Amino acid sequence: MPCSSVLVLVVNLAKDLNDKSDTKMKLPGSTIDVDKFSLKVEDMLKQVLSVVVSNTENFRSMMKDQKHIKAPENEKLQVITIGTHGDECDEKVKDNIVERKSLKLKSILESKSIEIAYENKTRLLLHEVDGSKAKRGEFDDDPAINAIREALNEQAYQIEVPLQWHCFGVILRNEAKDGILELSSCEEFGDSLGMSKDEVQSALKFFHALKLLFYYHDSPAKDIVFVKLDAIISIIRELMVAVCDSPSTLKGGPDGLAQLASKGYLSIKVLKMYAGALKGRESMLLGLFVHLKIAALIPTESDQTDKEDKVFLMPALLPVIDVSKLFTPSKIPLLYYFNDEPVPMGLFCAVIVQLLSYPDDEKWHIITKEGNYSNFFTIQKKYKTCQVILVEQLNWIKVYCDDRSFRQSAKNSIKEAINDAIKNKLKIKLIPAFYCPCNDKRDHIAEVEVQKSTNMLFIKTHPFYQILNVMSIGPGL
């Protein structure tokens, strides 16, 4: 079953959704703190849901004319909510806890693209599962597990592939001891099954779409098949562990770990320290990071003749900061929001990478190299003196630009960057907006809409969708 079929949402009943998300990462033998600031669990859940819902719609679109797969009739993302750790709750208030969490989840999951897979007789969304039964093997008689099993079966995709493809997939998993395989090896395995190179390509792309493996055929890593993502995930994890050390203990050259920790700068020299199964392919790996909008090449003042000295920015490795406490210009910012959906997790960093990756005169540059975060960046377009501040918030991306003459150009460039970052990846609608004049900046915004038939300009407020003001505009505006 593709990952886009059903979302199983497991909720710890003993914790509050309004709590701050955990910033600690557990490692073998130790625990590290990866951030000083974090969003509430509820807000992070909303951002994750935004990505999952959009990916589901994109996956359905990709698979629409695929002859090997038939999607279930229900096109919405099915969500199954499960409650655990009920034994850690006070029995006297447990029912009340489950009811409150159900109501909260219902408000979070309210979307035209989401359908709750099932509800129990009391209309509560959370079906509590007793984890201790797993140790005793007593799941067969658990009504919650039976309900989950039924919902999963109803939402299953029908996948029919040639027997050769099935055998091909089994061979790949058995042969990928370190999680990766050369494309040439995959072609040899396919040839032993009577598959042509074109058929091997088709099978790999199909498996990639199903998230059974990862094959980026149009990237610098086109000669590698990631049968398991462990090879890449372990590298990123090790880099994160490295930058979480105290800055005073970080040693290295100008492009070493100190720069990675303070600026998010990564070089091949540093990457070599953590390449693991991809040792010797560091240049290819950085090329893949650029292709996936994870990293961008950063120009330096001196000419770099040694490719190992080239520096790449990975915004996602920078810490998160509480943007409410940061200084921002007094000007009213432009807002980009996504049709009342939270900003998809990871999109903001991808937009920064996109702006830094444009060629020639369209390229942007980082200005304050020490004061940027994975949710706050100050950048400047090439040959321009005006600085632009981009800030990620839960429901929109804010754009500050004090130079009135450059504001429209900046708006167009950033809009293009957002569209380029989501192209062929996410199915979301980008809408420019601004804070409503009522000054309720928490959740009250407005957008401008021109009605062509009457040449009237409507200012519509959200989330109430009422007309705030109506005015006539000239035909040339």
What digits encode the pLDDT tens for the residues 290-304?
888 888 888 765 545
Res. 270: pLDDT tops 90:
no
More confident residue, 197 or 126: 197
More confident residue, 397 or 369: 397
How much is the pTM? 0.79
What's the rounded Cα separation, in Å, for the pair 230 and 29?
20
What's the rounded Cα separation, in Å, for the pair 240 and 45?
22
Task: Find out whether the peptide bond into 463 is cis, omega within 30 degrees of 0.
Answer: yes
Report the top-level CATH class of 330-435: alpha beta
**Percentage of the chain with pLDDT > 70?**
74
Give the position of tokens 């990293």.
295
What's the rounded Cα separation, in Å, for the pair 239 and 257?
9
Sequence ranges of the chain with CATH classification 1.10.10: 161-226, 230-317
Predicted confidence band at 114 (pLDDT cuts at 50, 70, 90)?
Answer: confident
Q: In the predicted model, what is the mean pLDDT of residues 265-288? A: 84
Sequence ranges of the chain with CATH classification 3.30.310.200: 330-435
Predicted confidence band at 203 (pLDDT cuts at 50, 70, 90)?
Answer: very high
Q: In the predicted model, what is the mean pLDDT of residues 321-333? A: 73
pLDDT in the model for residue 124: 61
What's the rounded Cα separation, in Å, for the pair 239 and 108?
33
pLDDT in the model for residue 153: 79
Q: In the predicted model, what is the mean pLDDT of residues 40-45? A: 85
Task: Compute CA 331 distance to the chain's CA centroid, rounded to the nearest angstrom.
Answer: 29
Res. 40: pLDDT tops 80:
yes
What's the rounded Cα separation, in Å, for the pair 126 and 176?
39
Q: What's the mean pLDDT when you consider all of the chain?
A: 77
What's the rounded Cα separation, in Å, for the pair 462 and 439?
13
More confident residue, 367 or 475: 367
Token pair for residue 5?
Answer: 């079929």
Q: In the predicted model, what is the mean pLDDT of residues 65-71? A: 76
Q: Where does 274-352 show beta strands of DSSP type E?
A: 296-298, 311-313, 334-337
pLDDT in the model for residue 307: 64
Report the top-level CATH class of 230-317: mainly alpha
The CATH code belonging to domain 161-226 is 1.10.10
Q: In the predicted model, what is the mean pLDDT of residues 335-364? A: 86
What's the rounded Cα separation, in Å, for the pair 430 and 411?
13
Task: Compute CA 214 distance to the chain's CA centroid, rounded to the nearest angstrom.
Answer: 17
Helix (H) or strand (E) holding 232: helix 230-243
What angle in degrees, to the nearest 10, is found between the helix axes of 41-63 and 197-209?
A: 150
Give the position of tokens 């021109």.
450
pLDDT in the model for residue 456: 59
Closest CA to 300 of 312, 287, 284: 312
